[in-house]
Amino acid sequence: MIATAQSMALSGLEARLVRVEVDATHSVPSFELVGLAEVAVRESRVRVRSALAGIGVDLSESRIVVNLAPADLRKGGAGFDLAIAAAIMAALGHLDPQLLRGAMLLGEVSLDGVIQPLRGVLPALASLPVGLCSLAVVPAGNGAEAALARTCTVAAIRHLGELGDALRGCIAAPDEVSVQADPLLGIEDFCDVRGQPTARRAMEVAAAGGHNILFVGPPGAGKTMLARRLPGILPPLDRGEALQVTAIHSVSGLLGAHSGLVRARPFRAPHHTASDVAIVGGSDPPRPGELTLAHHGVLFLDELPEFRRSTLEALRQPMEDGFVSVSRASAKATFPARPMVIAAMNPCPCGHLGDGTERCRCTRDRIRSYRARVSGPIIDRLDVHVTLPPVRLHELRRKAEGEGSAAIRERVLRARDRQTQRRQQGVVQSACNAHLTPREVGEVVPMDDATAQELERAATKYGLSARGFGKVLRVARTIADLAATDGVAMPHFLEAMAYRVFDRRPGPSDGDGDAAG
């Protein structure tokens, strides 16, 4: 008898329907599996045979042929185990084949019949076409995650013996849960930051418009301290963003069993020795990299010039387009990649240029060589550049706390609300100012002839590229939003222009505290 069950194969965050066909006959005992299956799938023969024996389904007198269709689609992982077991049970008469119609089965089966959780259950179910299936049977450890998809009824089971009850609708659907009730839990506060008013202001501007930012300063100036506090002043994730972050965590194996919706914005800080694949994504099958893991959050690149040149150059297209395309001979996947990028570097190889101690002995050529490790196109894609002077000890001894994250976040939220209103009114389609298209910039950053001529002279003086000049206009729009003004005035443009420190010609005196603003 032939029976059929449905499962899913993931490629990146996209899922493809897989039809599990089983032909069971009483003949010389064997178990054959075809359909371009990788090793983990082929090994399901051992797991499924043992699990079925544990619930009284004997395969010792049966010839089992399993076909995974379509045959030209590569299948990997252990997630087909449950569908294979269910189709075998139906083919041998231990389960009504009608129960498998309209059911999606995902799960790894242990030798004792326990259903183990999987990666990627949320994106698999979320990509189901409407009406394709009415019930999804998943491992109990993925129940809360699966409930988030809302594309069909979910039944979460712990053991293969519960499959029949799940298919008959006798198991209650799992509830949605959140990983964190408070998305700001554990995030450090800006009140701990002493000094660095220019950098604090730049962080507020960057958060308000979703802009990338570059810090240049000596060791101990507070670059890392500021970066780690950025998530605390960003707006909370809306449901759509939270679902994307949760799906990425699921595919990457970071979600954990029994975890639901991720409410906190991710913060990723890879070491500078990380490979291109670790940062951008890749491998076989394709997996998300740090750039995607930081989607809708923050990617902190400390010691920027120490990253491999090829790694930094691989960031160029994703930072511009907001996604990563990974192509391999056997698979192709596209991952979202729209984090805020914070980069930090020293002003020179020794780090002491301009710190007032006269310890730096770096030559002009060494400084140029050090800064040349970061290409112009990467610098162009970092909207805000800020030079951090060293923090003086008397500032650290102050008992008075600086302004806290809550107050800064309120101003950021008001600025983001203005951007949301423009989007709702149809003026722009971009979610925040950092992602405005050139046409949208022309709509929301009006300039008279005198202002345009003045900005062109400044851009020529600083040697700004067309992309760098576009960044200035976007940042100026954000500064105006923080000031709650509809128009963009010359002070807004001048402040935005001052945040292009790294576009100026390097020299022995660079980094001496001539910070933006």
* pLDDT digits 0-9 by tens, 418-435: 999 999 999 999 999 999
Count of CB atoms situated within 10 Å of the CB of 432: 23
Nearest to 125 by CA among 99, 156, 101, 97: 156
Quote the pLDDT of residue 517: 34
Nearest to 23 by CA among 37, 7, 34: 34
Would you state the torsion angle of the CA atoms of residues 462, 468, 472, 478, taken in this order, to the nearest 10 degrees? Answer: -150
Query: Is the pLDDT at 233 greater than 50, yes or no?
Result: yes
Query: Is the pLDDT at 401 greater than 80, yes or no?
Result: no
Show the tokens assigned to 62.
Answer: 């049966």
Least confident of 165-174, 247-256, 391-400: 391-400
How do 287-288 and 30-34 pair as beta strands?
unpaired
Least confident of 202-216, 239-253, 386-400: 386-400
Quote the pLDDT of residue 286: 85
Quote the pLDDT of residue 181: 58
258: confidence class by pLDDT, cuts 50, 70, 90: confident
Query: Is the pLDDT at 514 greater than 70, yes or no?
Result: no
- State how far the Cα of 165 lies from the Cα of 177, in Å rounded to an integer: 24
Give the residue-averaged pLDDT of 141-146: 94
What three-state secondary structure class fits 206? helix
Query: Is the pLDDT at 167 greater than 60, yes or no?
Result: yes
Query: Is the pLDDT at 495 greater than 80, yes or no?
Result: yes
How do 135-139 and 103-105 pair as beta strands?
parallel
Report which of residues 208 and 14 the model is more confident about: 208
Residue type at position 62: S
Report the 3 state secondary structure along 152-193: CEEEEECEHHHHHHHHCCCCCCCCCCECCCCCCCCCCCHHHC
Report which of residues 517 and 459 the model is more confident about: 459
Nearest to 73 by CA among 161, 134, 7: 7
Report which of residues 88 and 258 the model is more confident about: 88
Quote the pLDDT of residue 512: 40
Would you state the torsion angle of the CA atoms of residues 143, 149, 155, 158, taken in this order, to the nearest 10 degrees? Answer: -20
Q: Which domains does the chain have, with CATH numbers?
A: 2-167 (3.30.230.10), 190-503 (3.40.50.300)
- For 457-495, give the DSSP string: HHHHHHT--HHHHHHHHHHHHHHHHHTT-SS--HHHHHH
Count of CB atoms situated within 10 Å of the CB of 365: 8
For 281, phi then psi, to 5°, come to 110, 160
